[in-house]
Amino acid sequence: MTESEFIFPDETKRPRRRGWLTKLIIGFTVVTGLVALAAGGGYVYVLSQLKASGIDVYSTDGATYAPPTAAEIDGPINVLLIGSDTREGQGSTAYGPVGNALADVIILLHVSEDRKNAVALSFPRDLMVEVPSCPNPDGGEPYPGSDLMQINATMNNGGPACTLLTIQELTGVRIPYLAMIDFKGVIAMSEAVGGVTVCVAEPIQDQYTDLYLEAGEHTLIGEQALAFLRTRHGVGDGSDLSRISNQQVFLTSLVRKLKDEGALTNPFTMLKLGTAALENMTLSNSLTSIRVILGMASEVNDVDLDKITFLKLPVYSMSGNYAGRVGLIEEQGQLLFEKLAQDQPLVLQEANVGSGAVVAETEEPTISESVEAAPDSAATSSDEPLPDWVQGTNASVKSCSS
């Protein structure tokens, strides 16, 4: 596929509306393309920035993912989002010494084929998994696999493409797209949206990230937003699982802000978001075609807030030599993986945020009420809410750090 080819999804398949969620999912890269094209200038710069950020990612059969066909854009969308903890080139000694770059945050984002549901499934960085052999991005010998490795260390076995390959092997879900952001990228994105307001139920005092917040609401921007997303010693039991809950406080608030304020329909905000993304993200080559991104965005309809679900992977605490690490609860994990692979809705009966957060008092409808109120829908087993052991929330529910 060349840049001159535009992908037009089947226009008869569903009505078209502004695809704000996909713009969020793919790191807002479509924003800069739209602005550049509309202005009639800057196209070469945008294209060069996209190409420069591209890396190869692979399916489990070893094939390289190429830009998608029209049929693939029409189907379910799976993107792996990675937050890198690299200190190299970040411009601050406060983050610690430069060392190995690890996958500090790992989220599998799934948008259903009917564009009525979206799921963000978080994988703990301390998760112990089997890791496959991974291609060497420098063209040398492949990195050998491992029977058991901490998942955030997969970045050392072939970069983010190895992390994506490991998640595919674990879940059985095909993931053609990858977007990785670093510390500077988080800072730039928070500044581009004008900050994100979060609720804090109990004071946060974390000397490791230099984050000190009193109870109440705070609008976080720049370094403070990054510290909030990084903190774990300041919330819950100090584990990475509590940190995930805390991150979901931030992410659900961000989604509500973007939708409530119409941020992605504002060309100036869109330009800032797009520029921040291009300068601070690594994308898979399958996402570095402006034409593909525009085609993908046009295919996505708005998803209601209560159908944007944030979940935690079900895990147990390990012991012995692996104390402080976690393992997958196989039966529970497979239930989630199968639903994702089969493009079935993952809807919670009610928020179950876990350690690190609490649900704020609100007059908004509960999740169960919104499910029951769905008009003219024939209930099927795939539409049933998830079991109550699943931890997570959705974007319509306000939660607070705790």
**Looking at domain 20-401, which CATH architecture does it have?**
3-Layer(aba) Sandwich (3.40)
Predicted pLDDT at 261: 79
Tokens for 216? Answer: 């109440």
* 3-class DSSP assignment, residue 397: coil
Q: Which residues contact 173 (CB under 8 A, 6 or more apart)?
A: 78, 108, 110, 167, 337, 340, 341
Cα–Cα distance measured from residue 379 to residue 383, given in angstroms and rounded to the nearest whole number: 6
Write down the pLDDT at residue 27.
41
Q: What is d(CA 42, CA 213) in angstroms, rounded to the nearest whole number? A: 41
Count of Cβ atoms closer than 10 Å to residue 253 Cβ = 20
pLDDT at 34: 41
| CA distances, 347 to each of 136, 336, 351, 374 (Å) | 38, 11, 10, 13
Contact 355, 237 (CB under 8 A): yes
Residue 378 phi, psi dihedral angles, 5° rounding: -80, 115
pLDDT per position as a tens digit, 220-277: 999 999 999 999 998 999 999 999 999 999 999 998 988 887 765 565 665 666 667 6
In this prediction, residue 8 carries a pLDDT of 34
CA dihedral 186, 188, 189, 191 (to 10 degrees): 120
* Structure tokens belonging to residue 77: 């969308």
What pLDDT is recorded for position 2?
43
- What strand order describes the sheet that includes 392-394? 54-55, 281-284, 177-181, 77-84, 103-111, 118-123, 308-312, 392-394
Within a 13 Å sphere around the CA of 366, how many CA atoms are in the beta-carbon half?
A: 11
Look up the pTM and report it.
0.83
pLDDT of residue 28: 41
d(CA 315, CA 150): 13
Phi, psi of 168 (to 5 degrees): -65, -45
- Neighbouring CB atoms inside 10 A of 381's CB total 6
In the chain (402 residues long), the average pLDDT of successive 10-residue segments reads 40 41 42 41 54 85 90 88 70 49 91 91 97 93 95 92 97 95 88 93 94 97 94 92 96 89 63 68 82 56 84 97 96 97 94 95 51 44 82 96 95
Tokens of 33: 């393309």
Strand ranges (E), 164-279: 177-181, 196-200, 204-206, 211-213, 216-220
